[in-house]
Amino acid sequence: MSKQQVIICDNLNENLSAAINQCPHDKLFVLTDEHTRRLCLPIIAQFDCMKDATEICIGAEDVNKTLETLATVWKTLGDEGATRHSLLINLGGGMVTDLGGFAASTFKRGIKYINIPTTLLAMVDASVGGKTGINFNGLKNEIGVFSPAEFVLIDTEFLKSLDTYNLLSGYAEMLKHGIISTTEHWAELLNFDMNRIDYPALQTLVAHSVQIKEDIVAQDPFEKGIRKALNLGHTVGHAFESLALETNHPVLHGYAVAWGIVCELYFSHLKVGFPQDKLRQTVRFIKEHYGVMPFDCKQYERLYEFMTHDKKNSAGIINFTLMGEIGDIRINQSANKEEIFEMLDFYREAMG
């Protein structure tokens, strides 16, 4: 898989112009959702490099990350004369970069694309690493391909339009990157003041977080080994997310991941000795900032069923990424139903 270029922008106009110039194309398209069309497109639409771009707008939020939405993007590309030599710019959060990347990767067997993530979650996770896809059959990211953008342009100025709820969603993935990297970075993230955000300091943290993910993806682009480290919190987290969607109480991805981290670090403590003090500090931070997803023991079976569909599983065995210590990654750790139910018990006791 080719390596994408991630640019931490100091001048978005110049950075985007240079990226487009390095992607020869016959037609230029820009994909937004209803939010980013209003809040973010005006910022780049004034640039000379964007004057001939054809706009495609889709519905916002994860409920629109569907086959039907994907088909409308394909159809618009076709109706507007896109060829195999066209270029798509995805301007938005993780839903836009995931779906737009998949649309680009499959239209006429693949056209080039550039990601401009506008949410913290997209900057540190969704837009980096080459994963694309859509939700299908009630499951998160069930259909997709590995296909990296040519460029990912990260400009934290976009974050000033985000509410705290969406900032925290992205911050959960940064916290995950801290847990799988170093004690110093983990502690730095726990001590960052999310109530009075220092945006220059946040940009430094974002750059560090992106570098952690890039280093892991470079070692294992197709998730055969160490890239599974990036799934910490996601086995349980995706189940929480799917249950929330099914019960018509959708939650942001990062919140589900944060709650999944609570469960999986507890299991890490039991199975591979993750330190209790660091478990306690991490759970306290998550409880304080993310609140709790309410569910009862009657829903354990459904959560377990969602976990059986996780893409990390093999031969019906549910696999987890666990931690022996901050930075001590243990991939391919299995859990049976009784152990998973014990994780859910701990979650309800610790978070309730």
Our answer to whether residue 253 is catalytic in this structure is yes
Give how far Cα 108 sits from Cα of 32, 74, 105, 120, Å: 21, 9, 8, 31
Our answer to whether residue 84 is catalytic in this structure is no
Query: Tell me, what's the pLDDT at 312?
Result: 78
Q: Which of 37, 65, 112, 131 is catalytic?
A: 131
Q: Which of 90, 135, 141, 231 is catalytic?
A: 231
Q: Which of 51, 109, 196, 224 is catalytic?
A: 109
Beta pairing, strands 87-92 & 112-117: parallel
Q: What is the pTM of this model?
A: 0.91
Number of other residues whose CB lies within 10 A of the CB of residue 55: 15
Number of other residues whose CB lies within 10 A of the CB of residue 245: 18
Our answer to whether residue 325 is catalytic in this structure is no
Query: Tell me, what's the pLDDT at 314?
Result: 79
Please list the residue range(s) of the chain that carry CATH number 1.20.1090.10: 172-351
Q: What is the tens place of the pLDDT at every residue in 170-225?
A: 999 999 999 999 999 999 999 999 989 999 999 999 999 999 999 999 999 998 99
Number of other residues whose CB lies within 10 A of the CB of residue 27: 17
Tokens in use for 100?
Answer: 């737009």
Tokens in use for 84?
Answer: 């195999």
Our answer to whether residue 238 is catalytic in this structure is yes
Beta pairing, strands 328-334 & 319-325: antiparallel
Q: Which of 135, 141, 176, 223 is catalytic?
A: 223
Please list the residue range(s) of the chain that carry CATH number 3.40.50.1970: 5-161
Query: Tell me, what's the pLDDT at 52?
Result: 95
Average pLDDT taken over every residue of the chain: 95
Our answer to whether residue 234 is catalytic in this structure is yes
Q: Which of 238, 269, 278, 312 is catalytic?
A: 238
Domain range 5-161, CATH architecture: 3-Layer(aba) Sandwich (3.40)
Q: Is there a contact between 95 and 119 (Cβ–Cβ < 8 Å)?
A: no
Our answer to whether residue 309 is catalytic in this structure is no
Query: Tell me, what's the pLDDT at 265?
Result: 98
Beta pairing, strands 139-143 & 134-136: antiparallel
Our answer to whether residue 157 is catalytic in this structure is no
Query: Tell me, what's the pLDDT at 127?
Result: 87
Q: Which of 173, 208, 228, 241 is catalytic?
A: 173
Query: Tell me, what's the pLDDT at 34?
Result: 97
CA distance 330 to 53: 46
Which positions of the chain have pLDDT values less than 70? 1-2
Our answer to whether residue 25 is catalytic in this structure is no
Q: What is the tens place of the pLDDT at every residue in 77-123?
A: 999 999 999 999 999 999 999 999 999 999 999 999 999 999 999 99
CA distance 242 to 299: 12
Our answer to whether residue 173 is catalytic in this structure is yes
Nearest alpha carbon to residue 230 among 154, 176, 283, 188: 176
Residue 22 backbone phi and psi in degrees, to 5: -90, 5
- The top-level CATH class assigned to 172-351 is mainly alpha
Our answer to whether residue 231 is catalytic in this structure is yes
Query: Tell me, what's the pLDDT at 1?
Result: 61
Q: Which of 227, 269, 278, 312 is catalytic?
A: 227
